[in-house]
Structure 1
Amino acid sequence: MLKSPPQTPSSRPAASPAPGASEVFQLLRDGRPRTRAELARLTGLARSTVASRVDTLMALGLVTPDGGAASTGGRPPSLFALNPGARVVVGADFGATHARVILADLSGRELAEERQALAIDEGPDAVLGWLVRTVALLLERGNRPVSELAAIGIGLPGPVEHRTGRPINPPIMPGWDRADVPALVQTRYDVPVLVDNDVNIMALGERSFFWPETTELMFVKVATGIGAGIISGGALQRGAQGTAGDLGHVRVPRGGEVLCRCGNIGCLEALAGAPALVAALNAQSAGELGTSQDVVDLVRSGDARAVQAIRQAGRDIGDVLATCVNLINPSVIVIGGSLAQAGEHLLAGIREVVYRRSLPLATEHLRVAPSVAGDRAGVMGATVMAVDHVLSPESIEAACATLTTA
Structure 2
Amino acid sequence: MSAPSASTSAGAVPTPGGLVPRETVELLRILRDGVPRTRAQLAESSGLARSTVAARLEALMDAGLIAPAADAASSGGRPPARVTFNAGARFVVAIDLGATHGVIAIADLAGSVLLAESSPLTIADGPERVLSWALSTAKRLVKVSGRPRSELAGVGIGLPGPVEHSTGMPINPPIMPGWDRFDVPAYVRRTFDVPVLVDNDVNVLALGEHAVSWPLEDDLLFVKVSTGIGLGIIAGGRLQRGAAGSAGDLGHVRVPFTRDTPRHGDVDADLEALASGPAIARYIAERGTPAASSADVLALSRGGHPDAVAGIRQAGRDLGEVLATCVNLFNPSVVVVGGSMARAGEHLIAGVREVVYRQSTPLATQHLQIVPAAAGETGGVLGAAIMVAQHLLDPV
- TM-score between the two structures when normalised by the length of structure 2: 0.90
- Change in Cα spacing, 1:23 to 1:49, as seen in structure 2 (3 Å) is same
- 1:228-285 alpha-carbon deviations (Å, 9 max, x no partner): 11111111111122221111111113378737xxxx9611111111112212211211
Aligned to 1:403: none
* Cα shift at 1:72: 6.6
Aligned to 2:264: 258
Q: Decide which of 92, 97, 106 is 1:94's aligned counterpart.
A: 97
Aligned to 2:17: none
Q: Decide which of 374, 390, 393 is 2:392's aligned counterpart.
A: 390
Aligned to 1:117: 120
Contact 2:221 2:332 in 1 (8 A): yes
The root-mean-square deviation of aligned C-alpha atoms, in Å, is 2.2
- 1:161-193 alpha-carbon deviations (Å, 9 max, x no partner): 111111000000001101111111011211111
1: CA distance, partners of 2:248 / 2:165? 14
Q: Decide which of 347, 350, 353 is 2:352's aligned counterpart.
A: 350
- Change in Cα spacing, 1:384 to 1:214, as seen in structure 2 (3 Å) is same
Q: Decide which of 53, 56, 78 is 1:53's aligned counterpart.
A: 56
Of 106-115 and 169-178, the range deviating more from structure 2? 106-115
- Change in Cα spacing, 1:302 to 1:70, as seen in structure 2 (3 Å) is closer
Computing the radius of gyration over CA atoms, which structure comes out larger, 1 or 2? 1
- Change in Cα spacing, 1:362 to 1:16, as seen in structure 2 (3 Å) is closer
- Change in Cα spacing, 1:257 to 1:243, as seen in structure 2 (3 Å) is farther
Aligned to 2:35: 32
3-state SS in 1 of match to 2:386: helix
Q: Decide which of 361, 364, 381 is 2:363's aligned counterpart.
A: 361
- Change in Cα spacing, 1:364 to 1:40, as seen in structure 2 (3 Å) is closer
Q: Does 1:336 align with 2:356?
A: no
2: CA distance, partners of 1:253 / 1:393? 39
Q: Decide which of 315, 318, 321 is 2:317's aligned counterpart.
A: 315
- Change in Cα spacing, 1:52 to 1:72, as seen in structure 2 (3 Å) is farther
Q: Does 1:155 align with 2:136?
A: no
3-state SS in 2 of match to 1:368: strand
* Cα shift at 1:389: 1.6
Aligned residues: 383
One-letter amino acid of the counterpart of residue 28, structure 2: F
* Cα shift at 1:23: 2.9
1: CA distance, partners of 2:284 / 2:379? 29
Contact 2:112 2:382 in 1 (8 A): no
Runs of 5+ in structure 1 lacking a partner?
395-406
Runs of 5+ in structure 2 lacking a partner?
13-20
Contact 1:3 1:150 in 2 (8 A): no
3-state SS in 1 of match to 2:310: helix
Aligned to 2:380: 378
- TM-score between the two structures when normalised by the length of structure 1: 0.88
- 1:351-380 alpha-carbon deviations (Å, 9 max, x no partner): 111111111111111111111113332222
* Cα shift at 1:142: 1.0
Contact 1:34 1:80 in 2 (8 A): yes
* Cα shift at 1:25: 2.2
1: CA distance, partners of 2:74 / 2:189? 49
One-letter amino acid of the counterpart of residue 391, structure 1: L
Sequence identity (%): 56
Aligned to 1:78: 81
Q: Decide which of 139, 144, 147 is 1:141's aligned counterpart.
A: 144
